[in-house]
Amino acid sequence: MIYRSAGLTLNWHVPADQEDVKEVQNIKFAWRCQKCGDSGTTHSFHESGVCPSCGADIKSGNQRQFIEPAGFAVDFYETPNNNVDNQQFVPVESPWIALDSDWLSLPNPDLGRFRTTTKGHIFHQSRGINGTGYALCLECGRTEPMTPDGVMPERFAKPHRKLRRGKDDAPECPGSNDSWKIKEGITLGHETWTDACEFQLKSTQGHWLNDKVAAITLAVALRDALAELIGVENTELACATRQVRTDEGGLCRAIVLFDRYAAGYASSVPRYLRELFHKARAKLLCSNDCDSVCPHCVLDFDQRFAVEDMDRHKALDFLTEQWVTGFRVPEQYAFFGEQSQPDFSPLLESIWSAVAKGAVKAIRLQTGGEPDQWDIALSPLRQLAYQIASKGVQVSILTPASVLEQLDETERNLLASLADAPDIEVYALEAPVRCGEGWLLVETLSTETERWAGDTQSSLVFGPDWGQVENLLVSAREPEAPALDATRIDADTLRPVATVLGDRELEIGGELNGKLKTFGKRFWNYLGKKHEPVQMQLDATDPVTFIRYQDRYFFSPLSVRLLFEIVKALRARVGEERWPLPTLEIETLECRPRTRRNGPPQRFLWSDWDNNATRTEVIKSLFNGIDARPRIKLNSLHQQAHGRMLEIVFSSGKSLRIRFDQGVSYWRVARSVDSHSKAFNFSETDSKRQVARLMRADVNLEGAEQKTQLFIKVVTAKPD
């Protein structure tokens, strides 16, 4: 018997027999950018109209209002039949795919690039037999395709019967009397997150692959090749192509491989990259020498809807023998000579892979670059050094002596703290170590030595981007490591000279954990207890005349609230007589435009503002309320002071300076806090309402696993 689906089941969270339970339906918006090729979903129609990656306005034809069916229902009052001759086929539509990860060059960067992720976003969709969507009754769930012209189907032009009803119910659906209950042009959609790999390929002539037929055929060949290399059925993987715009503005037909069941296959491509294209070309050569495609090469059941867009000869015209032969490390990237091998994993991942094998006895980590770009507190290298040393591996951090001489006080203190740790040593080099045209980054020492080098000196900078190369990370294995030609620098030599009243370094982890509203009080109590000069100055009689806070990354509502609590508690500590409306100067960078690269959509207290005016208004409103005169100074990256410092100046000329290695952003909302309490509405355009929401927040705070360091001093000289 043949039953025809007549609609959707709209009960999302209740048993199917509970027909009297009504719920809000989860209707969302999907979008795809016609400029850069990015895509995504959102609950906001406004957000679906602007691409977060490139800022382009999304054309209406690239927006979909969709519902994810919980199930399908038949009309129980229609008689089923057994006529198989009268079937309707709904066209299959390609999924919209988005990856949000960093690009890596192929072994030969001239041939293109690729990226992998374990969180690729796949949006599958169906817009009905006419491709114009469906009309959906939100009352009963009855669904019909829109006409080819996008007009309401005839069934909804007059009152319709309920899709499902009890014996005592009226036959006519109440939704017939409310036009808003009939949703027009809606898409049936399903979104999932899975492992994915995207290729953007260039021909040997330097042209981006932009032929749809060649790209689809090559995608299938790569999918089959990867499945064979891993040892799984090719049905475990899917493939697709999408037209995107490259960084240079040209068009490219990208190839995407993705897992059907998030099993980790597509994200493992870097392990098989060298063999992948050789095997794909072998499949395209076809043992049956077919005219286009056949089951002997790349045609299978999954491609039954794409057979008209496949031709192995066009794919072979692109994936030539010359292309595959050129798929090796070019001479300019052969930093270690013939032993040079491309490493497609992130450097940190490769290091941990080597250490995990258990044979590594020591590791040398190279640093350098421009000293004013250093930011040890936020560098993954800092945590890497501590973690590897905790496993009993000797860690050596090597830096050119000229760089050490130019480091500011904060960075020298942080480097000294590393040198204080067991199994970590700091060395001064005469110059960065070159490897051919590259720069040495890491050496692991065991029975053999594994070395990594990058193509840019900036990858040596001891900051957030340490180890990130521009084009290609290259590794090599050698019998033994070269001798270390460097001078060890102890912690006392690295640490700045103390002032008369003494400097104090504090390590803080969970000591200040607790409610946000009392964070400032805990902060000053702890500092006063741990450093007597701070306590003495807080108990003195001279008024506070000026406060300055410098922080490059002062972007989030939580950071602003934390500083507010510190200043508010300071005012309460010194008293009103010592608080003659001091100026509070905040120096920071302009807000960063929001893209897929700099984080998820703004939703939480720790998310970033992307609007300078809103952030400024919130800051002014907050601090005016505690009799501090805020002055916001927005600097360029080169103008902004490197460290994060809170300076409090008193009328006597004394000043209290607190240098934070990570700023107030070190403290975060506790993981136990519920989603509602940590939410923040960035779409609210009224800054006063944002202030009110921020002041209502009283979440629990906690320190990170890695402790933060504060460097405190009380000085007698007036500030410049």
Which of the listed ranges 331-345, 524-538, 679-693 does the model predict with the highest average pLDDT?
A: 524-538
What average pLDDT does this structure show over 321-348?
A: 88
Name the token pair of 673.
């806090």
Distance CA 116, CA 258 (A): 10
pLDDT at 498 over 60: no
DSSP H/E element including 214: helix 212-230
Rounded mean pLDDT of 53-61? Answer: 87
| Residues 6+ away with beta carbon under 8 Å from 300 | 220, 234
pLDDT of residue 11: 59
Chain segment 658-695, per-residue pLDDT in tens: 999 899 999 999 998 888 889 898 888 888 999 999 99
Q: Which two tokens stand for residue 240?
A: 């697709």
Instruction: Identify whether the C-beta of residue 666 lies closer than 8 Å to the C-beta of residue 660.
Output: yes
What band does 101 get if pLDDT is binned at 50, 70 and 90?
confident
pTM for the structure as a whole:
0.65
SS3 category, 462:
coil
| pLDDT for position 62 | 94
Query: Coil, strand, or helix at residue 51?
Result: coil
Sorting pLDDT into bands at 50, 70 and 90, what band is 545? very high
Q: What is the DSSP letter of 245?
A: E
More confident residue, 478 or 26: 478
Which helix (H) or strand (E) segment holds residue 290: the answer is none
How many C-beta atoms surround the C-beta of residue 238 within 10 A? 20
Model pLDDT, residue 81: 74
> Which residues have C-beta within 8 Å of that of residue 590, sequence separation ≥ 6?
612, 634
Q: Contact at 8 Å (CB) between 565 and 520?
A: yes
Rounded to whole angstroms, the Cα distance separating 441 from 277 reads 29
Q: What is the pLDDT of residue 171?
A: 80
Residue by residue, DSSP assigns 71-100 as -EEE-TTS--B---SS---PPP-PPEEE--
Q: How far apart are CA 40 and CA 98, in angstroms?
A: 7
CB 208 within 8 A of CB 202: yes
Question: Are the C-beta atoms of 69 and 6 separated by less than 8 Å?
Answer: no
For residue 610, name the pLDDT band (cuts at 50, 70, 90): confident
Lowest mean pLDDT of 76-85, 526-535, 541-550, name the range.
76-85
Q: Summarize pLDDT for 555-580 with one digit per residue, the tens.
A: 999 999 999 999 999 999 999 999 99
Mean pLDDT of the chain: 89
- Output phi, psi for 709, to 5 deg: -120, 135
- Res 719 pLDDT > 70: no
For residue 643, give the nearest of 369, 371, 375 by alpha carbon: 375
> Is residue 87 pLDDT above 80, yes or no?
no
Q: 382: left (phi > 0), else alpha (psi -120 to 50), else beta? A: alpha
Amino acid at 575: G
- The residue with tokens 């045609």 is 299
- 644 pLDDT band, cuts 50/70/90, is very high
* CA–CA gap between residue 244 and residue 112 (Å, rounded): 14
Does the pLDDT at position 12 exceed 60? no
Question: What CA–CA distance (Å, rounded) separates 279 from 220?
Answer: 12
Question: Rg of the Cα trace of the chain?
Answer: 31
Q: How many CB atoms are located within 10 Å of the residue 186 CB?
A: 22
Span 205-242, pLDDT tens digits: 999 999 999 999 999 999 999 999 999 999 999 999 99
What average pLDDT does range 546-551 have in this prediction?
Answer: 96
Dig out the tokens for 218 from the structure.
């090559």
How high is the pLDDT of residue 92? 86
Per-residue model confidence (pLDDT) at position 25: 64
* Across 99-110, average pLDDT: 86
Alpha helices in 97-137 (DSSP H): none
Tell me the C-alpha to C-alpha distance, in Å, between residue 248 and each of 200, 214, 252, 719: 13, 22, 11, 48
Q: Judge whether residue 16 has pLDDT over 50.
A: no
Question: What does the pLDDT read at residue 637?
Answer: 76
- Least confident among 83-97, 175-189, 346-360, 403-417: 83-97
All domains of the chain in start order, with CATH? 5-98+119-191 (no CATH), 193-325 (no CATH), 332-494 (3.30.870), 503-715 (3.30.870.30)
Task: Take residue 395 and report the two structure tokens written for it.
Answer: 């860690």
The number of helices, as runs of H, and strands, as runs of E, in the chain is: 15, 32
Q: What pLDDT score does 502 carry?
A: 58
Looking at residue 599, its pLDDT comes to: 47
Q: Which residue has the tokens 């049956």?
A: 288
Tens of pLDDT, residues 235-284: 999 999 999 988 888 899 999 999 999 999 999 998 898 899 999 999 99
pLDDT category at 500 given cuts 50, 70, 90 is: very low
What integer is the mean pLDDT of 504-518?
93
